[in-house]
Amino acid sequence: MIREVLSPLRVGLVTWLSVLGVLSATSAIADVIEIFHADSLAGPMRELKKTFEEKNKGVTINLTSSTSKQLAERILKGDTCDVFASSSPAVIDQDLMNKKVEGSNQVAASWYVVFSANEMVVITGKGNPLQIRQVSDLAKPEVKFIRVTAEKDLATGRTIDFLKRASALEGKPELEQKIVDAAINDPSKPTSGPDVVRAVRETTASAGVVYYSSAVAARNDIEIIRFPASVNMSEAIRNAASVPGTAKNPREATDFVRFLLTVEAQAILRETGQPPVVPAIRKGDVPADIKN
């Protein structure tokens, strides 16, 4: 008789524990945030990830870095992305806003916030052995210059514009094309921002042009030469974040975007070479609880 009574209890207990296990597993899955970000945001995102995970125990952030346009293409094809941080609002505007994800009726993006800025800088080897002080120094025959050349990388055009502005400011506009043409270049292997930093760090190149945030992330191994605002493209370079339609965990993703606009996150952005845009610029159907 006792056995008959305990048996249903045991079955009920096992069933309840199974339910708890399922809920636990579901909770664990829901606490993973997949973030796609531009290469230029690699340094800032590593630090933001640390702080956000510390403040939200049990949350894990996975970071995926590439060019903004390539990441946008992945989102359009249906790749899971909880937060997309682009090095240009235009990429979200033109490639994702109100566009349908391939094979579905899901909109790729319906809103974004512009949260930080950047600028172009020249980097050289530690100690600046060739004493590079201005853009015209990049035209010296002993300088091995490297730049971003990837077609879909926004830094490619921004580098050329930066060189054009700086050469003109220094009274030598003709040097811009000379510097571009003389840059280390392998047409079969386009050069990315991380490639430029690596080449200068490993001394296979004397100098390069990259985003300030990328330079700051490598500041222990290189020297950074900054330029006036009229030259460095800072007025044109903005970073934007959105929660795409392919997000599996939109609530946690929205929490992260909200975090980007806090004083704490803005201090991290400033320290890592991405001065925050305050107040943040909002576009589209931004959730009401994401405040400046």
| CATH assignment of the domain containing 185 | 3.40.190.10
Q: How many domains does the chain have?
A: 2
| 79/59 Cα distance (integer angstroms) | 20
Averaged pLDDT for residues 235-249? 97
CA–CA gap between residue 228 and residue 33 (Å, rounded)? 37
Q: In the 8-state DSSP scheme, what is residue 95? A: I
Statement to judge: residues 258 and 220 lie in one domain: no
Residue 170 forms part of a structural domain: yes
128 and 93 together in one domain: no
Computed from CA positions of residues 282, 69, 43, 236, in that sequence, does the dihedral angle turn out positive or negative?
negative
Say whether both 104 and 249 belong to one domain: yes
For residue 160, what are its two tokens? 């050329």
Beta-bridged to residue 83, according to DSSP, are 35
Q: Are residues 101 and 125 in the same domain?
A: no
Residue % of the chain over a pLDDT of 90: 86
Burial environment of residue 244 by CB neighbours within 10 A (0 to 12, 13 to 18, 19 or more): buried
C-beta of residue 205 within 8 angstroms of C-beta of residue 196: yes
Q: Do the beta carbons of residue 233 and residue 164 sit within 8 Å?
A: no
Q: Would the pLDDT of 75 be above 50?
A: yes
Residues 128, 211 within the same domain: yes
Same domain, 112 and 125: no
pLDDT at 258: 97
Whether residue 140 sits in one domain with residue 158:
yes
| CA–CA gap between residue 9 and residue 213 (Å, rounded) | 61
Terminal alpha carbon distance of the chain: 66
pLDDT band at 292 (very low <50, low <70, confident <90, very high): low
Rounded mean pLDDT, 108-118: 97
* 210 bridge partner residues: 121
Of 225, 249, 269, which residue constitutes the final position of a domain?
A: 225
Cβ atoms of 211 and 120 closer than 8 Å: yes
> Looking at the structure, do residues 111 and 254 belong to the same domain, yes or no?
yes
If asked whether residues 217 and 80 sit together in one domain, one would say: no
How many CB atoms are located within 10 Å of the residue 119 CB?
A: 24
User: Read out DSSP for 119-149?
Assistant: -EEEEEETT-TT---SGGGGGSTT--EE---
Is the peptide bond between 279 and the residue preceding it cis, with omega within 30 degrees of 0? yes
Structural domain harbouring 171? 120-225
Q: How far apart are CA 254 and CA 178, in angstroms?
A: 46
What burial class does residue 235 get, using C-beta atoms within 10 Å of its C-beta: 0-12 exposed, 13-18 middle, 19+ buried?
exposed
Burial of 9 (0-12, 13-18, 19+ CB in 10 A): exposed
| Residue 54 within any structural domain of the chain | yes
Which of the listed residues 225, 253, 276 is the one where a domain comes to its end? 225
What mean pLDDT do residues 226-230 have? 96
Residue 249: per-residue pLDDT: 96
- From residue 57, give the alpha-carbon distance in Å to each of 52, 160, 166, 257, 274: 9, 44, 47, 17, 26
pLDDT band at 126 (very low <50, low <70, confident <90, very high): very high
Outline where 85-243 has alpha helix (H). 89-91, 154-169, 175-182, 193-201, 212-217
State pLDDT tens for residues 10-47.
544 444 444 444 444 444 444 899 999 999 999 999 99
pLDDT tens by residue, 276-287: 999 999 999 999
Q: Which long-range contacts (CB under 8 A, 24 or more apart) does 53-62 make?
A: 55/259, 56/255, 58/27, 58/28, 58/31, 59/31, 59/32, 59/33, 59/252, 60/31, 60/32, 60/33, 61/32, 61/33, 61/35, 61/256, 62/32, 62/33, 62/34, 62/35
